[in-house]
Chains A and B, each alone.
Chain A
Amino acid sequence: MAFTAFSSSAATQPAVRRKSRAALFLLLPGIFYLILFFVTPLISLVITSLQEPDPLVFGRFVNAVNWQNYAAVIELYGEQSARSAGYAALATLFALLIGFPLAYFIGITLRPYPLLQSLALVLVIAPFFISFLLRTLAWKQIFSTEGPVSGILSSLGVLGPGEAITGTAFSVIFGLTYNFIPFMTLPIYATLVSLDLRLLEAGNDLYGSPATTFRTVTLPLSTAGVLSGTLLTFIPAAGDYINASREFLGSADTTMIGNVIETNFLVLQNFPAAASLSLLLMAAILVLVGLYVKRSGTEDLL
């Protein structure tokens, strides 16, 4: 599965150098596509991010080398950027708190029952089969002021009069956590499912308490899964703008960097601002991925 993208180290046979023309034929179309629709768009973003307003026509931009754009967006949207990092980090943490035990349960506890194990795995990916937007909207409606949760919280006095659950930092982080739990669970499951149970028995035989065995055996052996799950959750969560959108679980107080990029590009048509923010987000993510690659070795990358 693609969810092992960051963790699996497929046992590759030594590739042979033969018929390099065949390799070229296989590679060229795809590589050409990636260059045309991934590399050049990034270059377009760089060019756009340095543009300045056309002095003659209002709302148009001309090519320039205007580094000011970067300073301007950092100053303007520092708060939203920090919020994105914070929300995404918290959502990643909560997804880990839910996803790790779940992955342990499916990969280790359920191992004697293969059928239950397959069914449990299907349950974890089931949210993928229903529209991302509709499941987020479902939470919005469950949390709405007419909904059951608000009623209970109001009668308990947790929710004051006129206060709502939706539109708060809580509901956005909640939505992000919910939506990315499978991304956290699956890579951890992939490492735990192949864990040799005899190692746990050995820990037990050596008078290690379950907690010690977990800390010294299970946890270190699942690091690769935890790391890739963290990346697979953090990256999309940091760039997400659906959960934080006003029509979904957020409000004007929960705007994330994704919302800012979207508004600048599609609504305000301030393309240079949107482009420089995108590149800053990409740079931050790349630093993170770079640290991960350094930690786990490049061969595990793909």
Chain B
Amino acid sequence: MKGFGRYAIWVYSAMAFVFLLIPIVYTVAFSFNDARRTNIIWRGFTLDNWFGVCESQNVCLAFGNSLLIGVVATVLATTLGTMIALALVRYRFRFRNATTLLIFLPMATPEVVLGAGLAAQFLQAGVPKGLATIILAHTLFCLSFVVVTVRSRVAGLDPALEEAGRDLYGSPLQVFWRITFPMLLPGIVAAALLSFALSFDDFIITNFNRGAEVTFPSYVYTAAARGIPAEANVIASAVFFLALALVLIAQLTAAARRRQLAKTS
């Protein structure tokens, strides 16, 4: 019974992994499809889609918009979020619980509500929808995730290190840039990557606030009715491999560092 149970979990998990990977393999495979108009039926292998990604201009335009929005929203959200995270861990102030709640609530709010709320506000204020409104919306939903990610890093930071810096007559700014910031950097980078990923893949909130602007997900959504060009699969696959490489490198270096630590101690 025990042996059986042990095998069962391996088999079950292997099946779950295959299940998780099916649409990914499908999407990547169809980036090599010799599709002429609709990319639904396999018509043979080609590299043309990869070498001529921008021949289908709208895909590349949408992709460029998504990159721009992702970068600006990430910079804004990471800056604001890191500042809040520092304040939350380091200072005790009035309305601390209210602040925590204010940061938590956007994460618990369904995207469709966030999207409709922002759109209603822009409508009432007479703000025309466009790239700016998309960036404002993305910064909002990334902000809370940044706070949560950086906060745990700040909490794990030994305050004695900063105290030592102050004892050695470091000015508050010097202490921050030479001690606090470098130690927080891994958390900040993780938060930035997470917010870029969230922004890049967002469709629902974007759709409410984009006006006539097209992002990569909204392009895919509109094109879904008449068939997605293979170039969209190329972009998604390229982004996938890039993200996968980044995460694998991060995981492997972390594992190597752990092993080294275990050896030296």
Contacts and interface: CB of A to CB of B under 8 A. Distances in A.
Interface in A258-302: 258, 261-262, 265-266, 271, 274-275, 278-279, 281-282, 285-286, 289, 298, 301-302
Given A123-B17, A123-B21, A302-B103, A22 B110 contact: no
A63 B111 CA distance: 25
B120 A302 contact: no
A10 B109 contact: no
A15 B89 contact: yes
Size class of B's contact patch? 35 or more
Contacts of B201: 128, 131-132
A235 B108 contact: yes
B24 A278 contact: no
A146 B13 contact: no
Q: Which of A1, A24, A182 has the most CB of B within 10 A?
A: A1
Interface residues of A, number: 105
Contacts, number: 296
Contact of B255 (A13, A40, A118): A118
Given A105-B9, A114-B255, A236-B110, A23 B91 contact: yes
A1 B149 CA distance: 6
A107 to B, nearest CB: 11
A154 interface: no
A302 B116 contact: no
A45 B117 contact: yes
B100 A301 contact: yes
B220 to A, nearest CB: 4
23 contacts: A16-B91, A19-B91, A27-B84, A27-B87, A37-B140, A42-B117, A118-B255, A123-B20, A123-B21, A124-B20, A127-B23, A129-B197, A129-B244, A131-B220, A135-B24, A139-B23, A142-B26, A178-B20, A181-B20, A210-B1, A241-B112, A301-B101, A302-B103
In the A-B complex, the 5 residue pairs with the smallest Cβ-Cβ separation, listed nearest first, are A239-B110, A41-B117, A138-B23, A23-B91, A26-B87
